[in-house]
Every structure is written in C-alpha cells, then in structure tokens.
Structure 1
Amino acid sequence: MLRDILARDPAMLEAAARLDAIGADVVLLQDVDYDAAGMGLAAFAALLTTEYPYRFALRPNTGMATGLDLDGDGRLGGPGDAQGFGFFAGDGGMAVLSRFPVLTDQVRDFSGFLWAALPGALLFDGMSEGAKAVQRLSSTGHWEVPLELPGGTVLRLLAFHATPPVFDGPEDRNGRRNHDEIAFWPALIAGRLPFAPPAPPWVILGDANADPDAGDGRHDGIAALLADPAVQDPLPGTASADYPATGPLRLDYVLPMAGLRIIGAGMGDGAPHRPVWVDLDLP
C-alpha cells in the first residue's frame, strides 16, 4: 500500500478524492495495510486535502500467524492459517482518521477475544480443539475508539471489519464466523460478554460483509443487529456495494445508538464499496 501511495497510484488518488468529496469529521478506513510506525496511514493522509490531525490504528488479526493448519489444506503458514486471512502481518487492516483527539488511553481492543468464548458461537463441525483454543473471533478487529468532541463529549466508535462469508467449503467456516463477528456487538451492548458495555454515546460502523436479505452468508446475524432496539438504522434497504457476481448488496454500515439525533445520511461514490456517512447532532 505504501509503495502504491508513494507512486501516486491512480486507485489511491481516487480513494483520496472520494473521501475529500465527503469531508467527514471522522473516517473509518477499511483494507488499510498496517505498519507499526504508521507510515502507510500517514502517507495516505497526505494525499487528502481534508486535514485529519489525529490518526489511529491497531495491529489487525489479518496475517497474524497461529502456527496451526486452520484452513485444513495440510500446510502451515498460509494466509488461511492466520488469525484473519492475510498474506503478511497487517495485510488489510483498519484505521481511523479524525479531526478530534483520539483518547488512546481509553481505547479497548477486543480483537484477542476467542471465537469459542462468544455465547452461542456457531463453531463449525470438525473444528479442532487446538483451533478452538487459539482462533480469535475477529478476522480483522473489533475496537472501541473514544473521540473527544468539542465541549467535552466523548463519542465511542465501535469499529469492525467482518470476514466475507464465502471462500470456504461445506463446513461454512467463513459464513459462521461472519455471523458471529456481527453478533459480537449486540452481545457487548447487552452485557453478555466479559467486558463492560460501551458508555454512551456510541456508533457501530464498519464493513459487515453481510446483507440482511440478499447475497451469501447467514442473514440472521446482520438482521438481528439492525433490529436491535439499542441501535438505529439511518439507511434501511440501501445497497452500499456492487459486485458483478452478486449485484447490489448492503454490506457497509454506520449505526448510531438509539436516542442520538441523526440530521443526515447518505453514500459517496465508489466501487465496489461506496463510503457510507451519517451526520449526528451530538451534545
């Protein structure tokens, strides 16, 4: 990614132009390669005319070696054997760009939470005990990122990127994991996990890789999140992605907690995923 940014690759310039056209105060970027020094993220931010003085990223689960043959292909060290599919550590992570300070000392990273520890986890038949002991739920990450807004209000971003529910076999490994990555948020909010629920106000946002009505995957996971009385859905029924093999799908979401005043919502231009935005009137 850093190589392509420094070479001013047209795809990178187009992505930057799409973000500038929206001019959001806060952006959650997906499929951003992670490096410990933040060089890639800083280089991308430099392409933007919108200034984001605060940048934040954690090491994702993508490409994180497990030492096990998780995908059952008889070989170790492949991209499917990592905690989340990835050809190298940090391959396609997440990042936050913000005009408001990130309260890094209050960040909560749930990315180490084991899949098997989720109440009611849809573990697939044939999953080994060794895999159950190490396989994390998050294919990329689940984060709570607090932002300090003008006036002192703290808005908490509940950010994630779920695995696509395809590219597996009849065991439905990815479809089950996708469902459970989405189910993590209702469980957290309701206090069913060994973590305190997020303090309000908060917003769930990210690429769920799941449509409640169409496409592959288990629709009940994302449908349950959208129907949860703790959240509100500002863009019901709108498609945010379009692939030739599937047609329009709703995969990307910004879901403010119930009670927050929404004053606008929409989508920008892009392919195959369009950026989703929501304007909030916060105290």
Structure 2
Amino acid sequence: MTVRRTPARRRAVRRPAVALAATLALGAGLAAAPLAASAQGGHGGHGGHGQPHDRSLRVATYNLSLNRAAEGELRADLATGDDPQARTVAEVIQRADPDVVLLNEFDFDAAHASVEEFRENYLEVPQGGADPVHYRYAYTAPSNTGVPSGFDLDNSGAVGGGNDAFGFGDFEGQYGMVVLSKYPIDTRNVRTFQHFLWKDMPGALLPDDPSTPAPADWYSPEELDVVRLSSKSHWDVPVRVGGRTVHVLASHPTPPTFDGPEDRNGRRNHDEIRFWADYVTPGKASRYIYDDAGHRGGLKPGERFVILGDQNADPLDGDSVDAAIDQLLDHPRITDPLPTSDGAVEAAALQGGANTTHQGDPALDTADFADTAPGNLRADYVLPSKGLRVRDAGVFWPTQADPLSRLTGTYPFPSSDHRLVRVDLAVR
C-alpha cells in the first residue's frame, strides 16, 4: 500500500524448479530443493572496483503495484503472458537488473503460482528490447493483509472487511511480498514475524481513543491479545553471496493515513519501522522480539544486512509520526546511500501542488503521489548495514526526454506510482 490520502490509482522459457518457501512457522508449502549451482548474478564475481575478494551485489526494492481487486485475478492475468502492466514492471526490473529484489504489492497465493508465472512469462522473456533476467531463487510467505481478526478494529460498529483484518486487504494475501534472488536463499534460516503482537513491543505507540480519559485504549484488552504489529509481515531472508551471508530484512509498513484522530495507522507505521531498528540493535531485540517459530532475539553484532521495502514514510514530508523513518536513517549500524534521480526533480517541478511546500530534496523522491496531497515522497528504501560498502545508488525515474520514461509515465501510470530503488554494494 502507499502513502496517499486519495484512493489507489492503477490499474517463455522454462527452467528447473527453484526454492520457493512459505512461512516456516506454518509448515505449509515447503521449499523445493534449490539448484546446486550458485547464481552469480549480473553484478557478481570479483569486481574491479574494490578489493580482490569483494563481490558486487545490486539490491533493489520495487513496489510494483501488481495487486488486483479479487483473489486469483493476478494469477490469471500473469498466466496470459500478455498483461501490459506486468510487462512494463518486468522491463523496469530487467533494465535495473538487480541481484536481489523485494517486490511489494504482489498478491500472495498459497501455491506460489503467481511468482512462477511472473518469472517465466515476464522476467525471463525480453520486454521492450531489454535482456531477460533470471532469478533462480525466490521467497514468499503469507501476509496479514485480508486475514480476518474477528474484531471491530476500526470501531465502526460492525465486524468485517479490510479495516478489521490484521492488515488492510479485501482478501488474504492482497498486497503481499516476494524476494527474488540470483544468489541462494538460506530457506532453513529464514525468520518471519507475521504473528508478532503489537502489544509485545515495549513502549509501543498503541492508539488512544480520544473520547475517553484512559490512555492507549483504542483497542480492548481482548483485541490487544490478537492485534499483530505487521500489516503484511516482517521477514529476515538470509542470502548467500559468495562465502558471506547478507540478511535481507523485508517489510511494507502500513500507510500512516486512512484513519482518524486516534492515528492507529500512523502509530503502527512508526512501530513497524521501529521493529527493524530494534532487530539490528544488539541487546534490544533479545528483550522482546520472537519469530513465528518461537525463537527470540535479533541479529548479532557484525552480521551484514540490508533493510528493504516501501516504508511508507518520508523523513520530512507526508503524514509520518515523529519522523518514523529517522529510526533507521539515523541508526548507528545503518548507511543511507541517498539514491536520487533527475526524473523526480523534474516531476516535482512540473506537478507543483503540494510539492512546492515540501521540505525534502525532491531528487530523493521515490513515489509519484497525488499533487494536492501528499505530493511526491521518499517512501521506498534500500538501507545496508555499515559492514557493506556502498558503490552506487539510484532511483529508476527517467526524465520525460528519456525514451525509458514510457515505463514510469504520468498518471494513470503504466507501471506503478512507485519507482524502483537500487543500491550497489561490495560484499567482502
């Protein structure tokens, strides 16, 4: 989902089986055996830009808005091999050619058929003159979106619908996530946090009912016993890059809007972002974080990681609570590569509106939202640990004079209102 006040605006060659896993805690849809050969990727191997044992790794996040209004609709669209939007977002990925990419807003299905269709019918087929891209490894798992809570979480007086699900969605798995990788995914050591309860975060910004004197009482005690922190999920997906492990920390926090004075979505967005800040902080995670298999703690000191996803938070503009994203941008273990594009600068100038009042540098914007409010924002992030050296970074947002601007376009967008963000790293 996206940070905006207005409604959403959108609308081969076969190869051996790959590792595709479902949530380990549920034990469902276990992974097929990964290929024995390690996938090098288009940016792998010994690089000439670093030390002899450095290995280049391009990591990207892309909210490709590949969601649909009904369960099964995405799979049906992708099966044709001729869906215009899918062809367009596939070409964006082909031209960026990341080694590891997180896809946000990709509807989940338990059979993982949509992921297979997207790879085989779109990514592995040349799109618009671009070279095909092959991802031997993939990870996807259930999302909290559309999962009924059984409670009236929005206090509307009725139970049911997306607002009363554990994460907003009209069906289970809508707006899900996928990690694609050219390098092997260590599926045995993937950790998911789909079921982690919001109340179990110390100092959680639980929403308050402003009509009562009691604090943090929007949710009843019975509701707090089931309300989950993640609007989709949080995943720790270890990827083997040469002899090293890089933890891909994937998530997609809820937009900090579509609520009322209780600000339940803004507060949840803040704490979903805080989860990763605590997870990578030695000592903090061990106090309270548990995964879906019941294991406790976070990353150890010195472990390499990249935090990926549409965080739905801009450090200076939009509706975020207390600069929520600064919990990551100012973290002592995290580097902000500050990826930019000329296309974002051009779009802010041409569109005007809310963009003229923004405090942030428009070159950093990653999402083209409504011109009235909130305007274009920096919402999507690739944030590596300081043990990974940044070589380059950028946002796929061409200027209108660039022929590739046909892939991003203007509203109604041919691809997504978000832009692919990538960072090139040296892993040693």
State the TM-score, normalizing by the size of structure 1.
0.96
**Deviation of 1:219 (Å):** 3.9
Kept in 1: contact 2:273–2:327 (CA 8 A): no
**Deviation of 1:68 (Å):** 1.1
Partner of 1:272: 417
Query: Over aligned residues, Cα RMSD in angstroms?
Result: 1.3
Provide, for residues 114-166 of structure 1, a one-character-per-residue CA deviation record: whole Å limited to 9, x for no partner.
Answer: 1111121100112211221100000011110001112x211110110000001
Partner of 2:261: 170
**Deviation of 1:74 (Å):** 2.0
Kept in 2: contact 1:210–1:219 (CA 8 A): no
Q: How does 1:195-210 map to 2 (within 5 A)?
A: 195-199=296-300, 200-210=303-313
Kept in 2: contact 1:115–1:121 (CA 8 A): yes
Provide, for residues 218-256 of structure 1, a one-character-per-residue CA deviation record: whole Å limited to 9, x for no partner.
Answer: 142211220111100001751111212322200000000
**In structure 2, how many angstroms separate the alpha carbons of the residues matched to 1:3 and 1:165?**
32
Partner of 2:170: 87
Provide, for residues 166-193 of structure 1, a one-character-per-residue CA deviation record: whole Å limited to 9, x for no partner.
Answer: 1111110101000110011111122323
Q: More strand per residue: 1 or 2?
A: 1
Whether 1:281 aligns to 2:426 is yes
Partner of 1:189: 280
**In structure 2, how many angstroms separate the alpha carbons of the residues matched to 1:264 and 1:163?**
29
Partner of 1:242: 368
**In structure 2, how many angstroms separate the alpha carbons of the residues matched to 1:135 and 1:74?**
18
Give structure 1 regions of 4+ aligned residues with deviation exceeding 4 angstroms. none
Whether 1:5 aligns to 2:78 is yes
**In structure 1, how many angstroms separate the alpha carbons of the residues matched to 2:365 and 2:417?**
11
- Structure 1 window deviating more from structure 2 (226-235 vs 259-268): it is 259-268
* Matched letter for residue 417 of structure 2: P
The secondary structure found in structure 1 opposite 2:336 is: coil
The secondary structure found in structure 2 opposite 1:13 is: helix
Provide, for residues 28-49 of structure 1, a one-character-per-residue CA deviation record: whole Å limited to 9, x for no partner.
Answer: 0000111111100111112112
Kept in 2: contact 1:65–1:81 (CA 8 A): yes
* Matched letter for residue 331 of structure 2: D
**In structure 1, how many angstroms separate the alpha carbons of the residues matched to 2:79 and 2:182?**
24
**In structure 1, how many angstroms separate the alpha carbons of the residues matched to 2:92 and 2:323?**
32
Q: How does 1:29-40 map to 2 (within 5 A)?
A: 29-40=103-114
The number of residues matched between the two structures is: 282
State the TM-score, normalizing by the size of structure 2.
0.64
Find the structure with the greater CA-based Rg: 2
**In structure 2, how many angstroms separate the alpha carbons of the residues matched to 1:186 and 1:55?**
25
Whether 1:161 aligns to 2:252 is yes
Kept in 2: contact 1:100–1:148 (CA 8 A): yes
Partner of 2:5: none
**In structure 1, how many angstroms separate the alpha carbons of the residues matched to 2:90 and 2:387?**
32
The secondary structure found in structure 2 opposite 1:105 is: helix
Structure 2, unaligned runs of 5 or more: 1-73, 124-131, 209-217, 289-295, 340-360, 398-407, 409-415
- Structure 1 window deviating more from structure 2 (132-141 vs 232-241): it is 232-241
After superposition, the Cα gap between the structure-2 partners of 1:259 and 1:55, relative to the gap in structure 1 and judged at 3 Å, is: closer
Structure 1, unaligned runs of 5 or more: none
Q: Percent identical across equivalent pairs?
A: 46
Whether 1:124 aligns to 2:207 is yes
**Deviation of 1:196 (Å):** 2.3
**In structure 2, how many angstroms separate the alpha carbons of the residues matched to 1:229 and 1:240?**
24
Kept in 1: contact 2:309–2:381 (CA 8 A): yes
The secondary structure found in structure 2 opposite 1:145 is: strand
Partner of 1:22: 96
**In structure 2, how many angstroms separate the alpha carbons of the residues matched to 1:197 and 1:109?**
12
**In structure 2, how many angstroms separate the alpha carbons of the residues matched to 1:147 and 1:274?**
24
Provide, for residues 251-273 of structure 1, a one-character-per-residue CA deviation record: whole Å limited to 9, x for no partner.
Answer: 00000011321111001144411
Higher RCO structure (Cα 8 Å, ≥6 apart):
2
**In structure 2, how many angstroms separate the alpha carbons of the residues matched to 1:177 and 1:268?**
29
